[in-house]
Chains A and B, each alone.
Chain A
Amino acid sequence: MDLYARIDLHMHSSVSDGTDSPAELLDRVREAGLGLFALTDHDAVKGCRSIRALLREGDPAFLTGAEFSCRDEGGKYHILGYGYDPDSASMRRLVEFGHGLRIKKVRARLDFLKETFGFSFPEEELRRLFALDNPGKPHIANLMVRFGYAGSKEQAIQQFINRIRLRSEYIRPEQAIRSILDGGGIPVLAHPSYGDGDQLILGDEMDARIRRLMGLGLQGLEGFYSGFTPRLRREILSFAGRYGLYVTAGSDYHGKNKLVVLGDTGLADAAELPEGLLRFLKAVEDKQT
């Protein structure tokens, strides 16, 4: 297990909303001395293909990953997928579906900005925007700043882009979980206490959520997370132990965008690797041999 002395299974590249390209991210991973890492771009697997092609002998062990934003009648969730085959038909379909939803949202937001505020952009800029791997609010905000419609990216999002409430379609959790499983991967609930990233779910509500997702095929919980206090971590590890779920560890590093440090998962505080994490690592090893 020395190989896995330092683990980070949750990070983003410029393929989604991170600032490091996959090649730059790999350099950072090498510098950070990680033993095992996974790239988990939002609704995308392209960066994983890039990393695989860049890996050389002596590099940290790499695991394919992705983070899918899901929603159903029960709420919002981020579902991580690990160790899947990026070329599997199920994962290709899921990624294409997720990308299609993003494109629809971008179109709706641009229409809103034009109709409500009169903001418009040259065709060439829009072509570039739609050609991005994962276009979203930050990219529209950057355009607005460049064309003088907002003083900062944050102002563009807060004062203009967020004024539209989209009744969007979403990836359903069962759709993400089934696709990950069919692609040979392991579905894991990301930062469980924080829901889709801005919720707070604790106690009985957390219990009900985990049991419902387990019914859909969920296999693990992100128990070690850079944004968790020891108390939140204990709660998630307790649920993982109670239900025999895998445990993963991730920082949610986004590069220059955020203060989060690559490799900061809280795992360094653990006296020993929890049983659920050891089982996860074994399952991953079995997939790769």
Chain B
Amino acid sequence: MTIQKAANESSLTLSLEGRLDATAAPELEKALKEDLHGVSELTLDFENLDYISSAGLRVLLSAQKIMGKQGSMKLQHVKESILDIFEVTGFSDILTIE
């Protein structure tokens, strides 16, 4: 998986490409740990993300909890297959998906 970062004052966009699985999840977690300070708007662009495993889901939930305290988080361009996973796990109830 690759992560492209675009920061603009208090906004941060992370564009993910590839597979967010147990191998890649620590990389996203590290990027979030490094870059979330002072961010009030976090956007995760999933246009080129093909797969998410439960290790990725857990990182999303942690990020959602942090951003719930310091601002907002949204997901963009989520593929149907990933939306299905969000649906069966209840992530669609708690994430903001555009």
A residues sitting closer than 8 Å to B (CB atoms) are 153-154, 157-158, 162, 193-195, 197-200, 202, 226-227, 229-232, 256-261, 264
Contact = CB atoms under 8 A, between A and B. Distances in A.
B21 interface: yes
Contacts of B26: 153-154, 157, 257-258
Contacts, number: 72
Given A154-B30, A194-B54, A259 B62 contact: yes
A177 to B, nearest CB: 23
Contacts of B88: 200, 202
Nearest to B21: A198
A197 B59 contact: no
Contacts of A260: 62
B55 A198 contact: yes
B89 to A, nearest CB: 6
A285 B88 CA distance: 37
B61 A158 contact: no
Contacts of B97: none
Contact of B23 (A157, A193, A226): A157
B94 interface: yes
A197 B63 CA distance: 18
Contacts of A258: 26, 29, 62
Which of B58, B61, B90, B94 has most A Cβ within 10 Å?
A: B58
A227 B93 contact: no
Nearest to B56: A198
B65 interface: yes
